[in-house]
Structure 1
Amino acid sequence: DDRIYTFVPQSSIFGMIFEHEESYTIVKSNQKGFLQHDIYSWEIEQNSLIRLKSTTNFSVFFDHTLKEFVESLTIDQRREFTKEVFALLSLTETATFNEMLKNPLKNTGTILKSFAGLDSKTRNMLLKTIFAFVKSAKNNFSDITGGQNKITVS
């Protein structure tokens, strides 16, 4: 349908999670992280949005990593992991990620303490799934470094 337009900011992470069968426009934002989804942060030149040809390397890295990670799990594994992660996050008693980030030490402590108190089966499932994500990240590390597998320090 020609009436639907999709826009994503340059460093989009979660906006890229979903498969986009439709074409989308990448726009320049003057914000970072979640704040770049604020439409008022999108940069304008004369009377139109500043459009970019590609998202940032980190956005590509996260997109590839997340897709590979999700494909490595069964539907039941995804469901169980999501349920347990949200149960742990809900213990912080925050409603949004931004609220959670306002007190990272307290909230991380709450999550780690609750994680330690989980039954061994649930804890092992979460660890195994986290390691699968780390493996996917390692496989896609070259997206961040522009094709290099290692970061060189000069």
Structure 2
Amino acid sequence: MSNILTYIKNYGELSFDKLTFNELDNLIFSQLAYINFTNIVPNEISKEKFITIKDASDRYYELHQTLDGSIGLLIPDEVLPMLKLLANSKRFSNLKLHGYIQEIDKKETKQFSSLAIEIKENLYYIAFSGTDDTITGWKEDFNMQFMSFVPAQKAAEKYLDKYMKILKGNFILGGHSKGGNLAIYAATKCFSLRKKNIINIYNNDGPGFNKKMLESYSYKKIEDKIIHFVPESSVVGLLFNHTGKLNIVKSSQVGIFQHDAFSWKTSKTEFIECKNLSNESIIINESLKSWVTQMTPEEQKEFINSLFDILESTEATTLTELIFEKFNIFEMIKNSDKKDTQIVGKALVKLLDESRKIIFKNITNKLNKIGE
């Protein structure tokens, strides 16, 4: 199966002058943002402060010689081999990386990471990282449901504003998962006159927004620049509300595992697309939306806080620690505050009930069509 790694191998000798930036380059850069480039890529936003992808790769492996190839439970293992491929290709090796920032704040419930890739003179791709392995990052994602904005969105807005002030040129924004949401948020909130310098905004299977945001004047100003990609069985990329066309990509994985960008099928310099979302995707997302509407914003907040109070009671800071340190979910619940367990239990019963209703509705609709 061909994917973005195949693309790098087959087209890595072509410069951006010979083969212009395309949707696969976008996905590659969105994956690059998952790598922790602390003390490698300069964190100062400056035209003069940079490191090439080749040098960044060499430096990364110098600092992480004992690395086993994994950088988190939910970050694909292919990310680091991809970095090596990029470093050894003519197309990518000399691209300049600027302004790497990583901010994780448990107290503020913030997980934010971003960097800029200079594609060529006066053309930059600003890559916003999706949710990493931290429990803090996942709690922030859940908070998107009831908060007007989350700290990572404000950090993305600030990052883009600062970058566009310092560097003159045109910008492509993008990210995978939450990173796609951050890219759209930052573009929406940026100074009106700077919006003309944004060429496109790529949301690669990232969640949407509340309706108030989508109806705002500032969002309408950048709406036609947004490009959405989701896999056939998307879950994350259909959360909340979206506008515009969904470009549906074929995947080699099944179900929620299609969120893995390395499972997205490619042909030459583009994705292999299909016409419709899978029935599984439709049922899951209808169930989630129906479930959420059954709860008030206060109930949503209570559920999220209680759920993460239970997880954080283990003192684990990452999902990897939760899984591989063999924390027992039943022990966690047993030892947690009784009110927390009641709130979480009640919400999960509602979710199961809504799922049952949606599945029954879909089966009934199919039977009615057969009978017509």
Shorter-chain TM band? 0.7 to 0.9
Whether the aligned pair in 1 keeps the contact of 2:283 and 2:359 (CA below 8 Å) is yes
The share of aligned pairs that are identical, in percent, is 28
1:63 partner amino acid = N
- Give the aligned CA root-mean-square deviation in angstroms: 2.8
CA–CA distance in 2 between the matches of 1:143 and 1:52?
25
Using the TM superposition, give the Cα deviation of residue 5 of structure 1 relative to its aligned residue in structure 2, in angstroms.
0.2
Highest CA radius of gyration, 1 or 2?
2
Corresponding position of 2:265:
43
Identify which of 80, 86, 108 aligns with 2:302: 80
CA–CA distance in 1 between the matches of 2:277 and 2:361?
11
1:25 matched to 2:243? The reply is: no
Structure with greater strand share of residues: 2
Deviations 1:105-146 (A, max 9, x none): x23x1x211212234333222221111111101101147758
TM-score by length of 2: 0.35
Corresponding position of 1:54:
276
Deviations 1:62-112 (A, max 9, x none): 10000000000011110010111122233272524xx368549x23x1x21
2:306 partner amino acid = E
Corresponding position of 1:117:
335
Whether the aligned pair in 2 keeps the contact of 1:10 and 1:56 (CA below 8 Å) is yes
Which is further off, 65-74 or 52-61? 52-61
SS in 1 for 2:336: coil
SS in 2 for 1:5: strand
Higher RCO structure, 1 or 2 (CA under 8 Å, sep 6+): 1
Identify which of 341, 345, 348 aligns with 1:130: 348
1:95 matched to 2:318? The reply is: yes
1:39 partner amino acid = A
Which is further off, 31-40 or 113-122? 31-40
SS in 1 for 2:286: helix
SS in 2 for 1:12: coil
The runs of 5 or more residues in structure 1 that have no matched partner are 150-154
The runs of 5 or more residues in structure 2 that have no matched partner are 1-222, 368-372
| Cα distance change of structure 1 residues 70 and 44 upon mapping to structure 2, 3 Å threshold | same
Whether the aligned pair in 1 keeps the contact of 2:310 and 2:340 (CA below 8 Å) is no
Whether the aligned pair in 1 keeps the contact of 2:236 and 2:259 (CA below 8 Å) is no
Whether the aligned pair in 2 keeps the contact of 1:8 and 1:25 (CA below 8 Å) is yes
SS in 1 for 2:226: coil
| Cα distance change of structure 1 residues 80 and 133 upon mapping to structure 2, 3 Å threshold | same
SS in 2 for 1:7: strand
